[in-house]
Amino acid sequence: MKPSILVACAVFPEILDKLANHFEVSANQSDEVWTTADLATRLQGASGALTTGSERIDAALLAACPGLKICANMAVGFNNFDVPAMTAAGVLATNTPDVLTETTADFGFALLMTTARRMAESEHFLRAGLWHRWRYDMFAGAEVYGSTLGILGMGRIGQGIAKRAAHGFGMSVVYHNRNRLDAVTESACAARWVSKAELLATCDHLMLVLPYSPESHHTIGAAELALMKPTATLVNIARGGIVDDVALAAALRQGTIAAAGLDVFEGEPTVHADLLALSNVVLTPHIASATRSTRWAMAELAADNLIVYLTEGKALTPLNPQVLASKA
């Protein structure tokens, strides 16, 4: 008898067909929003689950689903996983690194450009029929070429953005990371490590690419925004919660910084009303990895993690490899 799995989100039908070769598949192709209780009910009898950031896997859910063996996140981020609790329960956690690096770096740079050059604001102006003549200062934004980019979080995506900035736009790149990069990687990225305070004070554009954790919650709040230049822009393609959205809205409203571009939000899909009311913020619905080929690669890697683990006891991209070792 085939093991049962739950696919908690809508995915490509071909991915479901692939999974059905190995498992009894229960799928959520209607993309219903489930409560925690709904998820626990649907996971009864399931050995594995394909999840997104919307499905919280914690100790309480694991206790209610003792048959669960693996949760494969269709995302590189995994702040919806309580990894220590999963490890303690003997449940493997996996994610989808690497396959979305370049696509997300492209989007991060596109969002930076859109924010700095006031492209969304000017499009809304045009569509509203307000463009009647040219003015020397009409939607004059910030320079990108030759400016200073500060990157907070210098993993794979941060490095991709740094290379685009330095080699494509002649930007001076500074970064802050919990662990400094080795000299070879710094050189490839043409990036220089600085303290967080120096990063905030010197950058013309701030790019947030750090993972979310309780320690990184509100890494950027009122105090940090006050350190930035009033002409600076902020772009967040990392995770909601890294920025204090209320403090950011106040900073944008008061002119503490010039503009922001946000692909992620606290409590998404809800967006704070103060941000929605502002014209100097570009808002996108968590789509940094949204190309068809990349989303396909993410879904396929998540599916392959389920297949390899439940049929062979192996994993391609484990977050808690201790679980594999304990079952060896």
203-254 pLDDT, tens per residue?
A: 999 999 999 989 999 999 999 999 999 999 999 999 999 999 999 999 999 9
Q: Indicate if the pLDDT at residue 325 is higher than 90.
A: no
Cross-strand partners of 152: 176, 208
74 confidence band (pLDDT: 50, 70, 90): very high
Amino acid at 298: M
Cis peptide bond upstream of 269, omega within 30: yes
Amino acid at 19: L
Task: Give me the pLDDT at residue 1, please.
Answer: 84
Q: Indicate if the pLDDT at residue 326 is higher than 90.
A: no
Q: Are 242 and 212 in contact (CB under 8 A)?
A: yes
- C-beta contacts of 296-301 below 8 A and 24+ residues apart: 296/12, 296/15, 297/96, 297/99, 297/100, 298/74, 298/75, 298/96, 298/99, 298/100, 299/11, 299/12, 299/15, 299/50, 299/74, 300/15, 300/18, 301/96, 301/99
End-to-end CA distance of the chain: 23
Of 100, 101, 140, nearest in space to 117 by CA:
140
**Number of Cβ atoms within 10 Å of the Cβ of 239:** 25
Give the tens place of pLDDT for each residue, 141-192: 999 999 999 999 999 999 999 999 999 999 999 999 999 999 999 999 999 9
Residue 177 CA, chain-centre distance (Å), reads: 17
Report d(CA 247, CA 268) in Å as an integer: 17
Burial of 102 (0-12, 13-18, 19+ CB in 10 A): middle
Say if strands 259-262 and 233-236 run parallel, antiparallel, or are unpaired. parallel
Residues classed as catalytic: 239, 268, 286
Q: Indicate if the pLDDT at residue 49 is higher than 90.
A: yes
**Number of Cβ atoms within 10 Å of the Cβ of 28:** 19
Average pLDDT estimate for 247-271 = 97
Task: Give me the pLDDT at residue 258, please.
Answer: 98
Domains annotated on the chain, with CATH: 4-99+292-326 (3.40.50.720), 101-283 (3.40.50.720)
Q: Are 266 and 260 in contact (CB under 8 A)?
A: no
Of 198, 282, 272, 191, nearest in space to 233 by CA:
282
Buried b (16+ CB within 10 A) or exposed e, 64-97: ebeebbbbbbbbbbbbbbbeebbbebebbbbbbb
Q: Are 212 and 186 in contact (CB under 8 A)?
A: no
Average pLDDT estimate for 63-84 = 96
**Mean pLDDT across the chain, nearest whole number?**
96
Task: Give me the pLDDT at residue 222, please.
Answer: 98
297 confidence band (pLDDT: 50, 70, 90): very high
Residues 128, 132, 133: CA angle, nearest 5 degrees: 135
> How many separate helices (H) and strands (E) can be counted in the chain?
15, 12
pTM above 0.85, yes or no: yes
Task: Give me the pLDDT at residue 328, please.
Answer: 63
Percent of the chain with pLDDT over 90: 96
Give the tens place of pLDDT for each residue, 112-139: 999 999 999 999 999 999 999 999 999 9
Residue with tokens 């070879």: 184
Q: Indicate if the pLDDT at residue 90 is higher than 90.
A: yes
Q: Indicate if the pLDDT at residue 327 is higher than 80.
A: no
Cross-strand partners of 191: 173
